Amino acid sequence: IAGITQAPTSQILAAGRRMTLRCTQDMRHNAMYWYRQDLGLGLRLIHYSNTAGTTGKGEVPDGYSVSRANTDDFPLTLASAVPSQTSVYFCASSTTGVGTEAFFGQGTRLTVV
Amino acid sequence: AQSVAQPEDQVNVAEGNPLTVKCTYSVSGNPYLFWYVQYPNRGLQFLLKYITGDNLVKGSYGFEAEFNKSQTSFHLKKPSALVSDSALYFCAVRDGAGGSYIPTFGRGTSLIVHP
């Protein structure tokens, strides 16, 4: 089934540790995004990529990095996790047309202790 | 810059009654508007969108939304609510003039449908 796959589904991480959240899509979408969802704050954009080889910063990029080596994969890395990065992380993809909807993965629930 | 506001954190409605979830937006150019639904422990799912044309847009699961340019609103509606409609609803916007394909989301509205 076409779509977006995120891994892991959930993770408990010690503060200071490095963690990579994986995201893979098979729809050949050019654009990919990482959002974090926090209660009362909705979805906030962390980083995005409009095509393989390019990335950009969103609203809350500090403490996170991304790479886009190919069309399908868009991993999100926390270099040194802090408790404030406890959140649910969603990867999404779309075409770059403004009239097209985004497709979301099932999310990664990350707890930093 | 583009933005979207969902003024209600929570909407409560009795099953069988009509429901409305509100959304207002701000863009520089033509708005491209979307509604998504999120069930517990799931990702967001696309419901419907307004691109151009008729102001009343119909989508999945019997939902519809009304685009009102003068009020810069895009309210989600359903004539008869079901308990299974209980979920978190997000409005999103893309600004055609800015050329930004990146969607901006509202904070979400929790819809609770009571039996």
Quote the pLDDT of residue B100.
62
Give A108's Cβ-side CA count (13 Å radius).
Answer: 28
% of chain A surpassing 90 pLDDT = 88
Quote the pLDDT of residue A25.
97
Quote the pLDDT of residue B94.
86
- Nearest-CA neighbor of B91 among B32, B14, B11? B32
For range A3-29, the mean pLDDT: 96
* Phi and psi torsions of B84, nearest 5°: -70, -10
Is B70 an 8 Å CB contact of chain A?
no
Nearest by CB to B43, from A33, A50, A90: name it. Answer: A90
| The token pair that represents A37 in the structure block | 């969802």
pLDDT of B28 > 90? The answer is no
For range A53-77, the mean pLDDT: 96
Q: Could A96 and B107 be called an inter-chain contact, meaning their C-beta atoms sit closer than 8 Å?
A: no
Report pLDDT digits (tens) over A14-24: 999 999 999 99
Report the chain A residue with the minimal C-alpha distance to residue B46. Answer: A101
- Nearest-CA neighbor of A84 among A55, A44, A57? A44
Provide the shortest C-alpha distance from residue A109 to chain B (in Å): 9
Quote the pLDDT of residue B99.
54
Provide the shortest C-alpha distance from residue B79 to chain A (in Å): 24
% of chain B surpassing 90 pLDDT = 78
B101, B104, B105: best to mutate for the A interface, most A CBs within 10 A: B101
Provide the shortest C-alpha distance from residue B106 to chain A (in Å): 6
pLDDT of B5 > 70? The answer is yes
**Alpha-helical segments (H) within B1-110:** none
Among A9-23, A79-93, B100-114, which is the least confidently predicted range? B100-114
Q: Could B108 and A45 be called an inter-chain contact, meaning their C-beta atoms sit closer than 8 Å?
A: no
Rg of chain B over CA atoms, in angstroms? Answer: 14
pLDDT of B102 > 90? The answer is no
In chain B, what residues touch A8 (CB-CB under 8 Å)?
none
A32, A38, A43: best to mutate for the B interface, most B CBs within 10 A: A43
Quote the pLDDT of residue A1.
59
Report pLDDT digits (tens) over B45-99: 999 999 988 999 999 999 999 999 999 999 999 999 999 999 999 999 987 665 5
Among A3-7, A87-91, B17-21, B102-106, which is the least confidently predicted range? B102-106
Q: Could A98 and B101 be called an inter-chain contact, meaning their C-beta atoms sit closer than 8 Å?
A: yes
Quote the pLDDT of residue B96.
65
For range A45-69, the mean pLDDT: 95
In chain A, what residues touch B42 (CB-CB under 8 Å)?
106-107
